[in-house]
Amino acid sequence: MHIIVVGCGNVGQTLTQQLSKEGHNITVIEEDSTVLQNVVNSYDVMGIVGNGASYSIMKDAGIETADLMIAVTESDELNLLCCLIAKKAGNCHTIARVRNPIYKKEINFIKEELGLSMVINPEEAAAGEAERLLKFPSATKVETFARGRAELVKFIVDENSRLCNRALKDFPSDLKKHVVVSAVSRDGEVYIPDGNFVLQPEDEITIFGSGRNTLNFFKKLGLPTAKVPSTIIVGGGETGYYLAKQLLDIGVKVTIFDKDAVRCKELSDLLPQALIINGDGTDKDMLMEEGVTSTGSFVALTNLDEENIMLSMYVKSINPKAKILTKVHRVNYGDIIGSLNIGSIIYPKYITADRIVQFVRGMSASKDSNIETLYKLDDERVEALEFIVKKGSPVIGVPLSKLNLKKGILIACINHYGEILSPTGDSVIRDRDSVIIVTTRTGLKDINDILEN
């Protein structure tokens, strides 16, 4: 598809990198010529210096023949104006990043009146991911497939776990039937495991299964499955607000620290059920006074990555049972953070880009691909893809053990008319099933691509 991306900030660059890698024809528009040149050189895309809300700039970018325009500048109003011009000039699909919560109540009106295909709020999306993790505290990541019927869950193997030092084929029968272990991250390497793969302490594993089976799996391992009872949030920005609101709605006790007195007054009015503290969340005495040693979870959401990381490390040291979430903007910290064992990391730019990329894949599905859903895992080294199986596919009716799969591919889950199956070697894929594949390979566009030629 021909896609125009307006804005080359963190999200814009992440989108450009991902979409160009998937074979789309990308044109980027950016006012800063130096930033634009770096993007053009890095990802081999077309670039135009200018304001994306300019009709002439849009025409130069090829808006009249474009399939999609994505506006992800720092300005909500500019993004919406870009979408309006793109819709009128090219009648293409449009996506806008809109951050201001004032627009949230009016978002349906804005989408309808401007003809937007999608509106994404980065802070709300990040809060949604944080809420899923706090509802399932044993996990480091939770995503859904098969329209919510199947779950991808990541967690760390403890040295006392029933899974530790066992080959996958030797799992106890009461565990084996519930989920499929689809990927393992160990010492910076990622593996697609076979039955002989032996799990070790501190491995981060990815499992697939139905929501009920995943829950049963964690219960049998003796891991917590209920939502956290309480949380302390340091940072009362928009992400903190959205997260607190979602947690209060499900009965979680919420305490928020923020240094800005005016913001604290706003939060008190918006969230009367929460305890709002005007103070420095990095003040250890203040944290201790508010019960940080006994809280069920701790979320670091300041605007400074280093502050968030240090806070999370400190809380982990004095309250090792707490669920820790840490917001990080700079992804080049990934390797360092991974060695610190401070719980789940929230990358706002990746979350926003992932949501947009999923929409793009949905558009592509009707053209040249059969991908329903796709998530990137383990610093983009692993893909989890969901395909709809069409009549005539060579995978239909053949036991999985008989399929000649390419190396680095695992069939993790089968959705048969709403029934979520954790496949074995005897399982068979049927016409119109949706099948979830986990792979270290790239470029798969159809279920048939998993087979050796």
Residues 179 and 447: beta-carbon distance below 8 Å: no
Tell me what the mean pLDDT of segment 23-27 comes to.
92
CATH superfamily of 230-346: NAD(P)-binding Rossmann-like Domain (3.40.50.720)
- How do residues 346-373 score in pLDDT, each as one tens digit? 988 888 888 898 788 777 755 556 777 7
How far is 418 from 146, CA to CA, in rounded Å?
Answer: 8
Would you state the pLDDT for residue 183? 93
Q: What is the mean pLDDT of the chain?
A: 89
Would you state the pLDDT for residue 367? 59
Cβ burial of 402 (10 Å; 0-12, 13-18, 19+) is: exposed
| For the chain, domain boundaries | 2-120, 127-220, 230-346, 361-450
Whole-structure pTM value: 0.80
- How do residues 164-181 score in pLDDT, each as one tens digit? 999 999 988 878 777 899
pLDDT at 95 over 80: yes
Tell me what the mean pLDDT of segment 437-444 comes to.
87
CA 193 vs. chain centroid, Å, equals 23
User: Which CATH architecture best describes the domain 2-120?
Assistant: 3-Layer(aba) Sandwich (3.40)
Would you state the pLDDT for residue 412? 92
Q: Kindly report the length of the chain.
A: 453
What is the Cα gyration radius of the chain?
23
Matching CATH topology for 2-120 and 361-450?
A: no
Cα angle for residues 418, 137, 225 (degrees, 5° grid): 60
Would you state the pLDDT for residue 435? 93
- How do residues 326-352 score in pLDDT, each as one tens digit? 998 876 655 666 667 777 889 888 888
Would you state the pLDDT for residue 113? 85
How far is 154 from 186, CA to CA, in rounded Å?
Answer: 13
Higher per-residue confidence, 84 vs 113? 84
Would you state the pLDDT for residue 331? 62
Higher per-residue confidence, 40 vs 135? 40
The answer to which of 98-112, 183-197, 312-326 has the lowest mean pLDDT is 98-112
Higher per-residue confidence, 412 vs 442? 412
Higher per-residue confidence, 348 vs 299? 299
Centre a 10 Å sphere on the Cβ of residue 4 and count the other Cβ atoms it contains. Answer: 28
How far is 268 from 250, CA to CA, in rounded Å?
Answer: 19
The answer to which of 60-74, 267-281, 360-374 has the lowest mean pLDDT is 360-374
Tell me what the mean pLDDT of segment 128-147 comes to.
86
The answer to which of 41-45, 136-140, 227-231, 246-250 has the lowest mean pLDDT is 136-140
pLDDT at 103 over 70: yes
Tell the CATH topology of 127-220: Alpha-Beta Plaits (3.30.70)
Cβ burial of 248 (10 Å; 0-12, 13-18, 19+) is: middle
- How do residues 388-410 score in pLDDT, each as one tens digit? 898 899 999 999 999 999 999 99
Tell the CATH topology of 361-450: Alpha-Beta Plaits (3.30.70)
Distant-in-sequence contacts of 366-375, Cβ < 8 A, 24+ apart: 367/1, 368/445, 369/445, 369/446, 370/445, 370/446, 370/447, 371/444, 371/445, 372/434, 373/145, 375/143, 375/152
Would you state the pLDDT for residue 104? 76
